[in-house]
Structure 1
């Protein structure tokens, strides 16, 4: 199949605390792809500020038949907003994109090529992800990478300890997603939960070796990965996932201990840990 004949959508959620200039750059990276989406669905997760609204208006006006904008009356979180957005996806495959990241110019070309390559070998192919580079302020100043395994068997092994997919990079089969119950309404770990549910239902997940998204990281990200609420959710979900066949008592114990140590670190130390060790 010709990549240019492959129709797909993009799903993005946005809420009022995002920065308009980051959002604008993220949309530009979608619109300048070597293979363009036929639909971009933006879910406004609660009322937005005027600057963010202006960004949507400008881009939607340039690509009138591409943008679908959904407005939620109040902020519910990314999991719920994504679940609502799925109802408006018109194609079999859709890509995820965070509102402050930058996709590489050939991201979709590479992923569509992988879908065409692996579809016959894996009838239950559900997700094609990839690698990410990370930056703080300047997109050209890389501070780290998050590399994840490529092969289905390695992905399942990795999932017992850590999330095996970089969420901002994925293309997802909508039919497969609905078959496992759509996105959950978790406010944290909703992406990790999704990969586990795919795996526990015998779907195939694959990561390509290429860096296809430049992910913006900042102090806020490291703060969000701390606190007792995050730890309690993590341990509870690990136990649930073990019951779904992903992990063992040993992996639950080891990963929970590791996360407990991570939670106890101040965000400044957590930042160094992620950048120098986990995402080197």
Structure 2
């Protein structure tokens, strides 16, 4: 019998009601292996349409849902921290409120965690908001040594795809604020701590690519977050001085190139660990 697990999903006012409904259904009712608990963290007030979608999803769910409301928007790091504290099970699956889990996702990830991995991600399809057209395929590195090596340059996991042991997350201090890169900072600390990690190369999540998705990966705010992260990675000796200098240079350029160049670079190299994305 599979070990029970919790599904942790944050939602905030910027999420679209219809997208949330699809994300919730795909990760609960439509899974061949369902979570035993859903922890839905509402990060601050939401509009009427989204509130109605949340209420409907909770009411229709055949899996117990903890709907945790945070009065004011506190950001992803704190929202996930509060959600983890409400998770009843050591195995926790992450999901965002605008993506879609494919039906076999948890059935393929959970056995790997039960067999000893502390952190397991998957590949992803990128699809467009407007018509659902698949425009890219992210293929992560799956070997633990390759993941560890690649993590010195870039996040080797796609956050919405991961399943992890909460105990392994807690051992390294959990989610901590790091601009828009709290996931990379967490995963790097887990790898540095000796966590057993892996990826399922097969795309098991569909990642929604809306207008401005790649524009948001650039600019001064992203650069400040990038620089803070690289300094933190160097401070814990996760990267060498040479790797730090390389990352600041290469990733710094990436933050300031035109959006169309950033889109090509992300799809072809960064999101795929150096592999060519399929279109």
TM norm. shorter chain > 0.5: yes
Greater shift after overlay, 187-196 or 245-254?
245-254
Residue of 123, 145, 151 corresponding to 2:143: 151
Q: Is the 8 A contact 1:131 1:209 kept in 2?
A: yes
1:223-262 counterparts in 2 under 5 A? 223-262=215-254
1:25-64 counterparts in 2 under 5 A? 25-30=22-27, 31-63=29-61
Query: For 1:80-111, what per-residue CA distance to the aligned partner results, in whole angstroms no more than 9, with x for missing partners?
Result: 11011111100110100011000010000001
- Helix, strand or coil for the counterpart of 1:176? helix
CA distance in 1, matches of 2:179, 2:68: 19
Aligned to 2:11: 14
User: Structure 1: 5+ residue runs without aligned partners?
Assistant: 120-124
Greater shift after overlay, 26-35 or 256-265?
256-265
- Helix, strand or coil for the counterpart of 1:162? coil
Corresponding position: 1:24 with 2:21: yes
Q: Is the 8 A contact 2:6 2:92 kept in 1?
A: yes
Q: Is the 8 A contact 1:45 1:74 kept in 2?
A: yes
- Helix, strand or coil for the counterpart of 1:221? coil
Residue of 142, 158, 170 corresponding to 1:166: 158
Q: Is the 8 A contact 1:96 1:167 kept in 2?
A: yes
Corresponding position: 1:188 with 2:180: yes
Aligned to 2:274: none
CA distance in 2, matches of 1:232, 1:49: 31
TM-score norm. by structure 1 comes to: 0.91
Greater shift after overlay, 176-185 or 240-249?
240-249
Aligned to 1:263: 255
TM-score norm. by structure 2 comes to: 0.91
CA distance in 2, matches of 1:35, 1:140: 25
Distance 1:108 1:139, change over 3 A: farther
User: Structure 2: 5+ residue runs without aligned partners?
Assistant: 272-276
